[in-house]
Structure 1
Amino acid sequence: MNRQALPDERVTALVQDAVAAPSMHNAQPWRFGYFRGSRTFHVRADPDRVLPHADPDLRALHLGGGAALLNLRVALAHEGWHPAVRLLPDPADPALLATVHPTGPESGGSPLPGLYPAIHRRHSSRFPFEETEIPPELRTALADAAREEGATLAFPSSWHLQQVLELLEEAEARNLTDPGSGQDLAQWTRTGAPSGEPARDGVPDYAFGPRKRGGRAPVRDFAGNRPVPGRGTAEFERNPQLAVLSTSRDRPEDWLRAGQAMERVLLLATLEGLSSSFATQALEWSDLRWPLRDPVSGTGHIQIVLRLGYGPEGPGAPRRPAADVLDLHP
């Protein structure tokens, strides 16, 4: 493996893969640095892209940063490098989320390179899914993927699933009348005909999906109370399939691990023909987040709730070009 500095065009391409990661409201709260001398990537938080109401403790920011970090690891592994990672390496600089040093070669048994084709295929789908059940062996594989990143993925069922759905419904109802939630939506959603330069972030109205007229799928309505011309309605799943991802502790480094686990699960799900969306509403309310956990075990901190199933792939939301988020250093 060539141990010289990566050419700038390869660095830019790798960061473009990283920024295909999901983030709350597609705020893309990250920046990247590449230091040619040490061949090291820095993954940094972007404080200008915080959602003050939905994410006051910056947990979702770290989840998004972790997802981008996982994409960078997968892209490097695809190129034949082993990505050596340090999380939060500098206590005096908490905005420095991680460093990634490409060493080589990547282990021949690593599953990371095989996830690469899903990086740009994975999109959030806010459309109805089929009632077809996800096979048990695929659920196990998804749980194993999360475990590889230090997180636990579980599929609630029966009365626990009912409880999770009720908490999500309560949170969605609150969001519709909450001024802070409305401000977040106003900042990070794009409605109406495009004018001038296309949007590079946020959730555009073509990705809202139809308005739900029935079913129990917990899909956030990014339109809020605003009309969207031409937007239809649809019946969603009566029996949604949800997965909750948790960590044993609830520190910033755990949020970064959870973000990596989330993206690893989503990339594998995409390769296996599943569509996905997020159900984070209850996580944005402190009194609703804790009851999401499995009441039998009573352990773990829920970091994300995923809706998975067989259905249409969602349209891709815009991304900032790598040049806008990448700083190159000697």
Structure 2
Amino acid sequence: MSTGELSDERVTAAVRDATAAPSMHNTQPWRFRYLRSEGVFQVRADFGRALPHADPDGRALHISCGAALLNLRVALAHRGLRPVARLLPDPGDPALLAVVRPSRPEDGGEGGGGEGGLGALHPAVHRRHTSRLPFTETEIPQALRTALSDAARREGALLDFPGPSHLRWVLQLVEEAEARNRTDRGEAEDLARWTRAGTAGTSDAAGAAAAGDGIPEYAFGPRRFDGRAPVRDFAGTGRVSGRRAATFERHPQVALLSTVKDRPEDWLRAGQAMERVLLLATLEGLVGSPATQPVEWPDLRWPLRDPVSGRGQVQTVLRLGYGPSGPGTPRRPTGEVLDIRP
């Protein structure tokens, strides 16, 4: 396939795949532009969808857009192209986060759908959902943990599964962050804007889909009765009628995703690594959910690091395991986020 054969339909399909990416509070803070004359995609930030309290420096916004960028690369690779991405190409345009040029695949490159190729991840793009449901206590095999760490490394990030003592400390930091969030006015304002209460039933779910963004009530998951799973309670201090309580895993399996540095470019790499890990996890029968609570507080984020190695800047905490897939959350219509230009 030549890159000149990208029709509007193919461009739209690729962006539809890109927007299946996870984003904090399902804000979907991205826009896409396709320039026909140059044959390139632009991934752009939508700063109007930022979280001013939980994400004042835009780190989570960049991570979310990085996840969408990874999905775009997967979509193009699936269609027989080799996506060449350049991060932050124009210092004078901070909203331009990346440019992706589809080129002919090279032997052994990422365009292949074979083992290790980006295209092989495509079946998971729309199957991956954040699960806020209880997982089983079944341990993730070491070989799979290694494969997930390798997936993150291919995107320039580190994925570590903390040992027992470090894990206990990480879970304590998550609990501390959750406790702070329950009484934090800024957190309450973010939740008020991005949660869709009253969307538990089928008809209400249709209304949530019409909204196109945010976390609908049906995706809150049950209230935690017992267990130590690091799951955010999107109900905050409010009560949700009919919401059940459940026992979550007592020995949650958690991974820390880190980068060596902590610049916007690193945040974009972290987002790509996170999504690559989650897509591979989905293909391997795992479910997952990001746990960003402690990285939203600077004084809690720093001590998340491995106390022995001290390496890396933790960008997110991932809860992984075996269990039911979470429900899909709504997405904005592709026409609202895609601009095709001559």
Same fold (TM over 0.5): yes
Three-state SS of the structure 2 residue aligned to 1:243 is: strand
CA distance, structure 2, for counterparts of residue 265 and residue 43 of structure 1: 21
Contact persistence 2:24–2:60 (CA under 8 A): yes
1:126-174 Cα distance to aligned partner (Å, 9 max, x none) = 0000000000000000000000000000001211001100000000000
Deviation at 1:5, TM superposition (A): 4.8
Structure 1 position 90 matched with structure 2 position 90:
yes
Structure 1 pair 152–182 and aligned structure 2 pair: CA distance change class (3 A)? same
Contact persistence 1:80–1:106 (CA under 8 A): no
Structure 1 position 299 matched with structure 2 position 311:
yes
1:234-257 Cα distance to aligned partner (Å, 9 max, x none) = 000000000000000000000000
CA distance, structure 2, for counterparts of residue 109 and residue 196 of structure 1: 40
Deviation at 1:6, TM superposition (A): 1.2
CA distance, structure 1, for counterparts of residue 48 and residue 163 of structure 2: 39
Aligned to 1:164: 170
Aligned positions, number: 330
The alignment's C-alpha RMSD in Å is 1.1
Correspondent of 2:187 among 166, 181, 187: 181
CA distance, structure 1, for counterparts of residue 290 and residue 158 of structure 2: 17
Contact persistence 1:5–1:36 (CA under 8 A): no
Deviation at 1:298, TM superposition (A): 1.4
Three-state SS of the structure 1 residue aligned to 2:123 is: helix
- 1:239-254, aligned counterparts within 5 Å? 239-254=251-266
Deviation at 1:228, TM superposition (A): 1.4
Contact persistence 1:18–1:72 (CA under 8 A): yes
Deviation at 1:106, TM superposition (A): 5.0
Three-state SS of the structure 2 residue aligned to 1:102 is: strand
Identity percentage over the alignment? 68
Structure 1 position 203 matched with structure 2 position 215:
yes
Three-state SS of the structure 2 residue aligned to 1:198 is: helix
- 1:33-48, aligned counterparts within 5 Å? 33-48=33-48
Three-state SS of the structure 2 residue aligned to 1:238 is: coil
1:201-221 Cα distance to aligned partner (Å, 9 max, x none) = 000000000000100001000
Deviation at 1:109, TM superposition (A): 5.5
CA distance, structure 1, for counterparts of residue 309 and residue 237 of structure 2: 38
Aligned to 2:121: 115
Structure 1 pair 272–84 and aligned structure 2 pair: CA distance change class (3 A)? same
Deviation at 1:108, TM superposition (A): 4.5
1:172-209 Cα distance to aligned partner (Å, 9 max, x none) = 00000100000000100001143597220000000000
Aligned to 1:102: 102
What's the TM-score, normalizing by structure 1? Answer: 0.98
